[in-house]
Amino acid sequence: MIKTISYTTLTSALLSFSALAGEAGTITSKTDFSDQGDLIDKKSPRILDFSLNARARYEFREAGRADASHAGTVRFRPGLTFLPDGPFSIHVDGEFTYALLDDFQVGTPQSANFDPFEANNTPIADPETEELNQAYAQWKKDGLTVKVGRQRYILDNAAFIGNVGWRQNEQTLDAASVAYKTDLFSVSYAFANRANRIFGTDGTSVVQALEGDMHIFNGSAKVKDFTLGAYAYLLDFDEAPNNGFANRASSNTYGGYVKYKGLHAEFAVQEDSGDSNFGRGSSNYAHVNYTHKFEGVTLLGGVEYLDADFHTPLATVHAFNGYADNFIGTRLGLADSPGLNDLYVGATTKVNDVTLKAFAHYYTDDSISQDLGWEVDFVAVKPVFEGAKVLTKLAYFDGAGGGEIKQASIQLDYTY
C-alpha cells in the first residue's frame, strides 16, 4: 500500500542544521559564495560544511513461495563537518529512512519489531529508521589519518569489511582507526567494539549490532606492476557461542592477494575465535578473476570459492555472488552453508552517457558435487544532473531445486 508518513523528525533535523549554519559565522557549504563580496573571505578556512546524500528507490522482489514485495523507500543522510579544511575535523551525520510504498517485510528473525511488516511477503531489508549514522573526530595530515568514533569503514573490495552500501541503512563501526598511505604502500588498523548493522535501532541483540572485540589489520604495497596485499581480521563477539550468528561470526581470518595488470588472485584461511565453538577447523577462501578491456568493452571472468564453514559477517555481501542475494544469509553466517563455488563472467560498456553492465553466474557447493543454480544480472547507470544519477538493476536466480528469485529496482541517488 502507499503510506502517508510524517516528516516532522526529518524536517526538524534539517532545520536544526540550517540554524547551526546561520549562527556559526564564517561558514560555507559546497556552494560557491564568491558572489557575496566581502561577506566571506574566500581565503579563510571554513568552519562548517554541510553535506547531503539522498536516495529514492522502488524495489520489486519475489522469492520462492512468498508473496511478491514492492518497496518504495526514501533515505536522507544530512551531515555536518566542523573545520573541514584543517588537519583536525569533526563529522556527524544522521540517517532517515522512510517507506512510502510498504508492501514488504524487513525479513530478520525479529521482523515483527520492524516497520514495514507484511508477514507473507518476500523480505527486503530496508526498515524505517531515524538514527545517528556517523559521529567521529579525525586527524589527517601527511598521509596519516586517525579517526575515533562511529564511522563508515571499507577495506579493499569490501569482501570482508564493508558498509553494505546497497541497502538504505548502512553498516558502521564504533571504532578507533589509524591509516598511513604513501604512493608505494598503505597500512591500517582499527579496533572496534560494535558493528552497527543495517536493521537500525528497532532491532535487538545481534540483529541491531554485533558487539565484542574486533581487531582489523590491512596493508598493501606496490612493486613495479604488482600490488601485494595482506590482512588479518580478528573478530570475537560477545554472544558466542549462545547465539548462532555470533558463534559463526566469531572468527580469525588471515589472507592476502596479488594484483598484476588485469589479474586478481586472493587466498584466506579462517578459524574459530574467542568463545566460538563452531568447530570450523581451518576453512579456506579463494578468489581469482581477470579483467580485460577490448574496443570499448570491459570483459570480466572469475571464480570465487568459500568453504562450507567460511563466513564474512562484516562484508558488503550484495557486491558478490549475484544481485539476487540468494547467498547473503550463508555468506554472512546467518545460517549454515554448503559452501560455494561461484563461476562468473561479465561485461561493461558505455553507450553515450549510459553505463551498461551484464553478468552471469553458475553456482555449486564447495565440493562441486551439488548444483546450486544460475543467475543473470543487468545494470544501467545514467547521470541526470550534477550530483545525481539513475540506477536500474535487474536480477534473476534459478535454483537447482526449483526456487526462483526475481528482483528489479530503479533508484535516484543524489549527493551534495
Digit-by-digit pLDDT tens for the chain (416 residues) are 555 444 444 444 444 433 333 333 333 334 333 333 444 445 688 999 999 999 999 999 999 889 999 999 999 999 999 999 999 999 999 999 999 999 999 987 766 688 888 888 999 999 999 999 999 999 999 999 999 999 999 999 999 999 999 999 999 999 999 999 999 999 999 999 999 999 998 888 999 999 999 999 999 999 999 999 999 999 999 999 999 999 999 999 999 999 999 999 999 999 999 999 999 999 999 999 999 999 999 999 999 999 999 999 999 999 999 999 999 999 999 999 999 999 999 999 999 999 999 999 999 999 999 999 999 999 999 999 999 999 999 999 999 877 899 999 999 999 99
Is residue 23 in a domain? yes
pLDDT for 1 equals 53
Is residue 341 in a domain? yes
Distance (Å, whole) CA 265 – CA 288: 4
Say which residues have a Cβ less than 8 Å from residue 224's Cβ, sequence separation at least 6.
none
Distance (Å, whole) CA 387 – CA 410: 17
Host domain of residue 190: 8-415
Tell me how crowded residue 225 is: count the other CB atoms within 10 A of its CB.
Answer: 8
Place of cell 554485533: 210
Q: Which residues pair with residue 114 across a beta bridge?
A: none
* 123: CATH: 2.40.160.10
Q: Could you give phi then psi for residue 278, rounded to 5 degrees?
A: -60, -35
Say which residues have a Cβ less than 8 Å from residue 152's Cβ, sequence separation at least 6.
134, 163, 170, 172
Place of cell 556527524: 92
C-alpha grid cell, residue 302: 572469475
Place of cell 516497520: 115
Q: How many domains is the chain built from? A: 1
pLDDT for 45 equals 86
Q: Which helix (H) or strand (E) holds 14?
A: helix 8-23
C-alpha grid cell, residue 271: 578459524
Whether residue 177 contacts residue 143, with contact meaning beta carbons closer than 8 Å, is answered with no
Is residue 1 in a domain? no
Is residue 3 in a domain? no
Is residue 186 in a domain? yes
pLDDT for 3 equals 54
Give the number of C-alpha atoms closer than 13 A to the C-alpha of residue 324, restricted to the C-beta side. Answer: 25
Closest CA to 194 of 174, 177, 170: 174
Is residue 209 in a domain? yes
Is this prediction's pTM over 0.85?
yes
Give the number of C-alpha atoms closer than 13 A to the C-alpha of residue 374, restricted to the C-beta side. Answer: 6
pLDDT for 20 equals 36
pLDDT for 313 equals 97
Is residue 2 in a domain? no
